[in-house]
Each structure stands twice: as C-alpha cells, then as structure tokens.
Amino acid sequence: MAEEVKKRAFSGVQPTGKVTLGNYLGAIRNWTPLQEQYDCLFCVVDLHSLTVAQVPAELRKNTLELVALYIACGIDPEKSALFIQSHVHEHTELAWILDTIAYVGELNRMTQFKDKSRKHADNINMGLMNYPVLMASDILLYQAQYVPVGKDQVQHVELTRDLAERFNARYSDTFVVPECLLSKSGSSIKSLQEPTAKMSKSDPNENGYISLSDDIDTIRRKLRRAVTDSDTDAHCVRHSADKPGVSNLLNIYSLCSGTSIAEAERLFEGKGYGVFKDAVADAVISVLQPIQAEQKRLLGDKAYLEAVLKRGADKASCIAQKTLAKVYRKVGLIPQIR
C-alpha cells in the first residue's frame, strides 16, 4: 500500500528585533505538532526585513539566532526544512512574475503597508509596498496547502490566494491555492501595558512585551508592572471582557502552565494580584529557561547550524526550481540551456 503523501505547510518569521512571548505562544510553539501532520518548511525571511533599514552585522546575528531559536523551540530539522529565504533565489524571481499580475490599488489597501508607512514615513520604499507579493511568492513557490499565521497576516494570505487564482485563470492551473491555518491558542496575547493591543516586538515601551531572551529578573519586573484593572473588584483574578489586563495574564498563565482558565481562577481566588503576577512569572520562566539554554548551546555549534541551513535550502530549492520552471514556461519565457 502506497505511503500517504503529507500536505505541505509553509511559514516564516523576520529576523528583526526580539521574538516575543506572544510570537512564541501564538505561532512558533504551535509549529511543533504540525511537523507530524504536514510536510513543513520553516523559513527565516531575511529579505522581508530589508523593507526597514537594518544594521548589516545585526541582521546577520539576528538571523542565526532565530535559526537556533526555531530548533530550541522544537522545530526538528530531520522532519522539516529549515532555511533562510535569501538562500533560495527563486523567491525573488517568482515575486517579479507575481508583480506583473498584482494591482497597485490592492497593494495600497494592505493594512500593514499603511501602518508601516505611518511608522516609517521617511522610508516608504517599493519593497514595503511589494512585501505582500514577496510573501505570496514565499508560499506559492512551495505549492503549500496551508500557511500557519496569526490573525494579523490573514489579509496577506488572502492576497496570495487572489494572485494564485488570477495566475491560474490566465495561464491554466499552476499554483495550489493555500488556506490559513489559524492557531487555536495564543493568538490573543496582548501587550502588558496596553492589554487591548497585540503584544509586539516593535512596541516602543519595552515593558509591554516579554522577549524570549529576557532574563529571569527582567521577566519578573515586567510582569509585576503589568497593567491589571482598577475597579471595585480590583483584586479578583477573573477572565472577563471588563478586565482585559487580568484576562491577558490569565491567558499567559494558562498557556505556560497547562492549566485551564477556570482552574487558574479557582487557584488564585482571593489571593490578590501580587501573588498572581509572581505565579505568572514562574510559569513563563519555566517555559523560557530551557529554550534559552538550548539556543545558547546551538549558537556555540555554528557548523551544525550551517549544515542544517544547507540541507534545508537544498530541499527548498528542489521544490522551488520545479515551480519556477513551470511558471516561466506558462508565461512564455524560453528555458536556459544547461
């Protein structure tokens, strides 16, 4: 009996800034079980990061640290292809073809383009506008059926679907039309200082997020300063729409400790916010310390990381070359004689 072919999933993270607890709980941690169900490709999307000015040495350092972090968080290079976007040149080549069927109006409407244009008004470059097209290329190049994303990236996957369908209609079936694979947990992790906003590594207030590289003292300090609520029920640890700060901390505690929200509410009933915040810190630290230790160990073995990246890029390139050759033929380009 023939072995069942796994469907493919693709996802990537930029090597910019610090990876937050929200990134981990909402995305990276959820990738580990996907490796058993899907043929997974995980990419460090370094080309995307160039839409904002980077310090070259820091970008190289952040990229390697992110690769080590992927593995430390449970990505198994024996099960999944782990590679750097710029190591597979087909990403940019397919992006150019997709640019020719993407419309300026639809790119102008992208929420992330408008947000980043406001934040970086002195550097509104074409890469910033074309970011979603390169993301579409990342996905379509591998004929991925699924894209694990947070809610903030759904609009980009919808554009990817539109471009795939548009190309298929114009040139005949070529691309798999992908679907979002939304996380069932962790997508609601909010800022510790603005609990109605998403926890973000670009938050100018460093007390708003926990970085996966934060030490124990920093984690405790940030959680003790976390916004709770000031109402007549101020010391009640309860998950409720009218208590966004406490609810956010409960979500974090639940995900890090493996305790249900209801169990956590019972556990901290009548104990006050100080005790509760210390317990949240303990739960976060228990999750992050092993990851930090493993990432440090991996960064000490550069030869191993380079071997992982070469193997991942080789697998990715094999798939990418086949897709791009098909695309070039469909649009009328003459193949190179080798």
User: 179 forms bridges with which residues in the sheet?
Assistant: 146
Catalytic residue list: 116, 198, 201
What are the φ/ψ torsions at residue 271 (nearest 5 degrees)? -95, -10
**Nearest to 52, CA basis, from 122, 111, 152, 138:** 122
Tokens of 258: 């493996």
H-helix segments, the chain: 21-23, 29-37, 46-49, 56-72, 90-99, 104-108, 111-119, 126-140, 154-171, 216-224, 244-257, 261-267, 272-299, 302-331
Q: Do residues 7 and 48 lie in contact, with contact meaning Cβ atoms separated by under 8 Å?
A: no
At 149, the amino acid letter reads V
Measured distance CA(162)–CA(135) in Å, rounded = 13
The angle subtended at Cα 102 by Cα 99 and Cα 108, nearest 5°, is 110
Dihedral (C-alpha) 149, 150, 151, 152: value to the nearest 10 degrees?
-100
- What does DSSP assign to residue 204? S
CA 245, 186, 178, 130 torsion: positive or negative?
positive
If one counts every other C-beta atom within 10 angstroms of the C-beta of residue 204, the result is: 6
What are the φ/ψ torsions at residue 62 (nearest 5 degrees)? -65, -35
Tokens of 304: 């191993």
- What does DSSP assign to residue 26? I
